[in-house]
């Protein structure tokens, strides 16, 4: 295999690359801390605080449904951020999406409960969750392009892993803060009454830090060249679906398998299944949160490793290893969870997170190398948003319904297996385009036959 020959427009200095890497990982961590705080709270307290009149299992399903509802608005957020990101620049969208997510999360922390405001409470909760979905739809694409378009050609996987590790870091931070509140500052009913609010209110501090860091970086060199050349596309979304609809679908399916797996823990299903006092395990809330925290560490390490490895063996090959690991871990993970032992729970989630990280780490570089420069923000954002709907959007709700219907958590294993197999097949259909020129002058080459077979560089 010959060395990559691609060029990066207006090469970025090492110091600026470090600033960009820091900005993407810090901003993404803040963004996903906000997102995961909601998902965890949905599994732990929202059924009681916002949907209790529905009663028992229905309240839990409604709580998880609000987690999935936000995913339906991700494509809209992705379309808006993609359009303006391809027209006005990556940096502006990054600041805007962070403001939207942080503001929405902070407001959730001051919402009245159903007991205090009646039906107004869940309505406001749903509206703020929709705003979170709009933000999440646009955030990832901008962070990814800032990282990958600033990276040296032979280290795109590594630099692209920075925004990726922000997701497990956000989960780590969210689980840690919730565990601290649940186990130290607001035990028992105090956590249900007021302790859950504190992690949401802390978002405003993280938001200020993230905005200050993101405003200090330069615009992507690829977008600067697009602007200089006057090569911006008038309506990026129309061109994307006219030229690359099949590629968007295949990319979305690859993410669906990863996202569904990830949302077993990040979406609150495992937390609810293991802590529900009416369920089969009835485990301690803090112990479960600590087990999830451990799995976030494993996810972080495997994600970072996968990004680096993908620069050596290719994005596609790294994915293949990840899908095999994910498939092999599904049923052992569920068996360990079902023991009801906190240490086995942590072990099971940790093993499962290896495959999740290996299929998440290469994604930034993989998606960025699929689409031409002038519609790249739209391409990566829409693919990501659609994959999230197909995969993680209602995964906790579906998993909970499967357990209620079948009486066994192993039914969830077959659901995850099916999605993983579909994602594996989609991966095999996409060419590995590692090393391709990301600049606007090479759009014709990037548009050529993006599917079927491996491209050796």
Instruction: Identify the CATH assignment for 17-447 out of 3.20.20.220, 1.10.8.80, 2.40.50.140, 1.20.1250.20.
Output: 1.20.1250.20
What average pLDDT score do residues 313-323 get?
Answer: 96
Share of residues in the chain with pLDDT > 70 (%): 86
Which pTM does this prediction carry?
A: 0.80
51: DSSP letter: S
Chain-centroid distance of CA 112 in Å reads: 28
Residue among 90, 97, 78 at smallest CA distance from 27:
97
Q: How far is Cα of residue 34 from the mean position of the Cα atoms in its chain?
A: 12
What would the pLDDT profile of 180-226 be if each residue is shown by its tens digit? 888 888 888 888 889 999 999 988 887 787 777 766 666 666 656 65
pLDDT computed for residue 221 by the predictor: 65
Structural contact between residues 307 and 164, judged by C-beta atoms closer than 8 angstroms = yes
In the predicted model, is pLDDT for residue 323 greater than 50? yes
Q: Is the dihedral of CA 156, 158, 159, 165 positive or negative?
A: positive
What token pair was written down for 43?
Answer: 């599994």
Q: Dump pLDDT digits (tens) for 395-450.
A: 888 888 899 899 899 999 999 999 999 999 999 999 898 888 887 666 665 555 55
Helix (H, G, I), strand (E, B) or coil at 288: helix
- Gap between the Cα atoms of 435 and 455, Å rounded: 10
Which pair of tokens denotes residue 21?
A: 């890497």
Tokens of 183: 């186990």
d(CA 268, CA 37): 10
pLDDT > 90 in the chain, percent:
35
Higher-confidence residue of 178 and 418: namely: 418
Domain boundary assignment for the chain: 17-447
Q: What phi-psi label fits residue 449: left (phi over 0), alpha (psi between -120 and 50 degrees) or beta? A: left
CA angle 338, 170, 332 (to 5 degrees): 20
- Report H helices in 45-186: 46-50, 56-72, 74-88, 90-108, 114-117, 120-149, 156-180
Distance between CA atoms of residues 173 and 193, nearest Å: 21
CA distance linking residue 256 with residue 90, whole number of Å: 25
């Amino acid at each position: 295999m010959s060395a990559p020959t691609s060029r990066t427009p207006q090469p970025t200095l090492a110091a600026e690359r470090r600033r960009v890497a820091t900005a993407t990982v810090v901003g993404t961590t803040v963004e996903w801390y906000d997102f995961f705080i909601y998902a965890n709270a949905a599994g732990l307290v929202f059924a009681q605080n916002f949907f209790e009149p529905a009663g028992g299992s229905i309240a839990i399903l409604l709580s998880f449904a609000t987690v999935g509802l936000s995913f339906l608005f991700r494509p809209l957020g992705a379309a808006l951020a993609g359009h303006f990101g391809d027209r006005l620049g990556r940096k502006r969208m990054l600041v805007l999406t962070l403001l939207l997510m942080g503001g929405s999360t902070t407001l959730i922390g001051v919402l009245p409960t159903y007991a205090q405001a009646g039906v107004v409470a869940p309505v406001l909760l749903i509206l703020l969750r929709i705003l979170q979905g709009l933000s999440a739809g646009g955030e990832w694409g901008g962070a990814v392009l800032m990282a990958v378009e600033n990276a040296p050609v032979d280290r795109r996987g590594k630099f692209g892993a920075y925004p990726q590790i922000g997701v497990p870091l956000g989960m780590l931070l969210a689980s840690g803060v919730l565990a601290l509140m649940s186990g130290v500052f607001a035990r028992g009913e105090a956590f249900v009454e007021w302790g859950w609010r504190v992690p949401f209110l802390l978002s405003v501090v993280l938001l200020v830090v993230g905005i200050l860091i993101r405003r200090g970086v330069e615009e992507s060199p690829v977008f600067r060249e697009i602007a200089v050349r006057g090569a911006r596309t008038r309506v990026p979304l129309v061109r994307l679906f006219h030229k690359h609809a099949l590629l968007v679908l295949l990319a979305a399916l690859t993410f669906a398998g990863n996202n569904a797996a990830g949302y077993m823990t990040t979406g609150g299903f495992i937390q609810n299944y293991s802590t529900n006092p009416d369920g089969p395990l009835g485990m301690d809330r803090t112990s479960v949160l600590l087990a999830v925290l451990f799995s976030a560490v494993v996810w972080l390490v495997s994600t970072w490793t996968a990004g680096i490895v993908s620069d050596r063996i290719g994005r596609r090959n790294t994915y293949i290893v990840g899908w095999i690991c994910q498939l092999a871990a599904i049923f052992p993970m569920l068996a360990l969870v079902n023991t009801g032992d906190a240490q086995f729970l942590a072990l099971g989630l940790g093993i499962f997170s290896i495959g999740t990280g290996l299929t998440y780490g290469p994604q930034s570089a993989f998606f960025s190398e699929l689409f031409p420069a002038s519609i790249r923000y739209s391409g990566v954002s829409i693919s990501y948003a659609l994959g999230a709907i197909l995969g993680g959007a209602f995964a906790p709700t579906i998993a909970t319904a499967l357990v209620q219907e079948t009486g066994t958590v192993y039914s969830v294993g077959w659901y995850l297996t099916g999605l993983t197999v579909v994602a594996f097949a989609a991966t095999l259909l996409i060419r590995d385009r590692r090393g391709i020129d990301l600049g606007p002058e090479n759009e014709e080459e990037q548009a050529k036959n993006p599917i079927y077979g491996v491209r050796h560089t």
